[in-house]
Structure 1
């Protein structure tokens, strides 16, 4: 029996290409039996695969004695001569601030910690201890929440080439047998029995009920279904990646071309959204079907946006594209009266410098002196604003900004220069032709510094 689990894990590693010789691997160890078996297995295979291992423990501070678990893992790493890294965060406070569940908050912070270490230590893999029973639970959870095909594929055995789950085809029972026969120690996390958590209700209540009253091999059947779907997902993911590259625009934020999205079948379009959201930094753990439906409405024109997304992000529709960007800080309307040349702080941040001279920077605004009268007004946009446009007479500022691809929030941050009730300039975008000074004549230069 001792070699049975090892044989299964080795077959899984070879079949799915989870490890390569010489890999530097971060092993996520909570101290529970699953992660202790994962650590032992990779330690036993380290010479065969020429692995360098790091042990990482993340303390969620859910329990007052959680530090004991961290010390236990530290001692286990010490015994094996492996480097130990400890991470901790007040998960409850984060969940409260972000208005998400404890489970989701813990998962977000935990994965963020592992990814930081992955980049900092120049690692090739992050090994996680999910097993076949976890896979069955995940499929049921996703089904309950109304996930699509992608969600029903459950937990991927490998994600983004560096997140690997060597125990995913091994059952909980096999793990516990291995742990006892190899004389391993582990700690019991009492929160795993707490049925206030949805996953625990699925684990301790729903699956046993299904096994008793419907089919005794529910876990095995769910695992088999998930693995079939996962293999098919590889093909769909490849198609989605090609469609994503075709639709992608960088402005510099992640943006997708609307005409391309409209031509993609809805099922593939959802995958393209996932790829864009992941690259933009949106928390995929928090994404729901309602978010995807809202994005589709943005594409079809049923909604104008912006569409709020998890983690203080939003999707913005522009002329021919949608962008995935962080929500900007809100700015209140402001009006600043400039009495004469000098240096003035702006309510939106930065400052403006007004000087009378002949040579101005190409980035500055240069106004004819005979057209200037003080006070000059600097403000942000107001309803009904119009600018003079030689070809059409006047144009709504709202339409002008739309044509420039600016979001509503970005428009609020742009200073408007007004003289005698007329908009004469917009830094970086517009200067009224009657007020624009030539490069040879002396004029009033307005230099805007660090507007952000």
Structure 2
């Protein structure tokens, strides 16, 4: 048998991609040339280095040949006694549910499947078959879209348990490996569709660049390596200026930092949000820096928001609330993000009210309360402000209504009309 023409062992050692003895790498296998090469290579390397490989294939069902692809991967694994895991998904249905493009939905579904499978089998890593030309194409696409050093650093060799053993391997070496080992593979017909930007770059633009410099992919990848190292250093400098936890940052800390670090500080802060930093752009970071100077509020992607008040910039995701008035029953109630308990036993912080038809909803601008001992009805907006509840947090405050009228608000009080008329005839409303 010919000597393998792919040798990624040194690359894997350099970036810590090799699992411990007895460990497992889960290989993402579409059935295409690159992933078939990676699966076979890891299977052979594992026999030498004492680790095992498993294969995962997600059947999107988007092409008539999808079942053919799954069967090819299944057959390869059976021949090598490689554990094989597969699932089918309806990408178009997920598009509607997730409100993403077909491409974004397919990618998200694939990585969710890979991570779920890796967790179930205890795999140390998930391996994907990105190679050197993929890296060069990614860098060029990022450049065309407009990006900074992070985007120009391209695909990272390792990130969050995902490894790319072939990232330093040229496509020609993969072709030679496939031929040397007589490996079958399938071709995705959509890879020839030049309506997709990456396909057009690969099929039309890259050949032109190679006529100018045959080593263009190598040089582009070398530039990405340099920028990745520099980007990691700058990120470390930016991270050192942030609080250890949370999504609040003193404005003076941000504005006194070097200008080159400010967008990085804001990006790292945004990554702490439950929605992550997806869809954040340079324009959002510029707006956040301006907000730190002027104060106020700003809407952000993913339903997040920024507030600058009293010298602190805070990023937050509003609580999920119920948009409609919801009746409450005795015992525990789950309404949106609220956990509410109605009972007849006193509890710390509970609101003591008269029995009746109680319900809950978000506050409204017209809401008001007449608190016992007060000189009359006052707006809930003013009452919340007096108690230090900022505008951006008011939507998360539940208003308890008696017979449809605002009657009790945690942290504010109970309307005089809802105060128990006699001892022992009391309901206690507790918010968790």
| TM-score bracket, shorter-length normalisation | 0.7 to 0.9
Q: Does 2:415 match 1:425?
A: no
CA distance 1:121–1:58, change in 2 (3 Å): same
The CA distance in 2 between the partners of 1:307 and 1:144, in whole Å, is 24
Does the aligned pair in 2 maintain the 1:146–1:289 contact within 8 Å? no
Superposition pairs for residues 371-450 of structure 1, below 5 Å? 380-383=362-365, 385=367, 396-400=382-386, 403=389, 407-411=393-397, 414-416=398-400, 425-427=408-410, 429-431=411-413, 442=423, 445-448=426-429
Match of 1:5 in 2: 6
The CA distance in 2 between the partners of 1:70 and 1:283, in whole Å, is 33
Q: Deviations over 1:115-138 (max 9, x none)?
A: 222323222111110000000010
The CA distance in 1 between the partners of 2:318 and 2:123, in whole Å, is 29
Q: Deviations over 1:155-186 (max 9, x none)?
A: 001113x2111100111111101111122111
Match of 2:304 in 1: 314
- 1:287 CA displacement: 4.2
Calculate the TM-score normalised by the size of structure 1: 0.78
CA distance 1:361–1:57, change in 2 (3 Å): same
The CA distance in 1 between the partners of 2:38 and 2:179, in whole Å, is 14
Superposition pairs for residues 236-385 of structure 1, below 5 Å? 236-244=234-242, 246=243, 248-249=245-246, 255-259=247-251, 260-265=253-258, 267-282=260-275, 286-301=279-294, 304-309=297-302, 313-317=303-307, 320-325=312-317, 328=320, 331-332=323-324, 334=325, 353=342, 360-366=346-352, 380-383=362-365, 385=367
Q: Which runs of 5+ in 2 are unaligned?
A: none
Does the aligned pair in 1 maintain the 2:295–2:307 contact within 8 Å? no
CA distance 1:314–1:36, change in 2 (3 Å): same
Match of 1:252 in 2: none
The CA distance in 2 between the partners of 1:143 and 1:305, in whole Å, is 28
CA distance 1:377–1:324, change in 2 (3 Å): closer
CA distance 1:343–1:222, change in 2 (3 Å): closer
- 1:437 CA displacement: 8.4
Q: Deviations over 1:8-63 (max 9, x none)?
A: x1121122222143232111111111111111111111133321221001222221
The CA distance in 2 between the partners of 1:192 and 1:211, in whole Å, is 20
Does the aligned pair in 2 maintain the 1:104–1:286 contact within 8 Å? no
Does the aligned pair in 2 maintain the 1:25–1:123 contact within 8 Å? yes
Match of 2:62 in 1: 62
Match of 1:119 in 2: 119
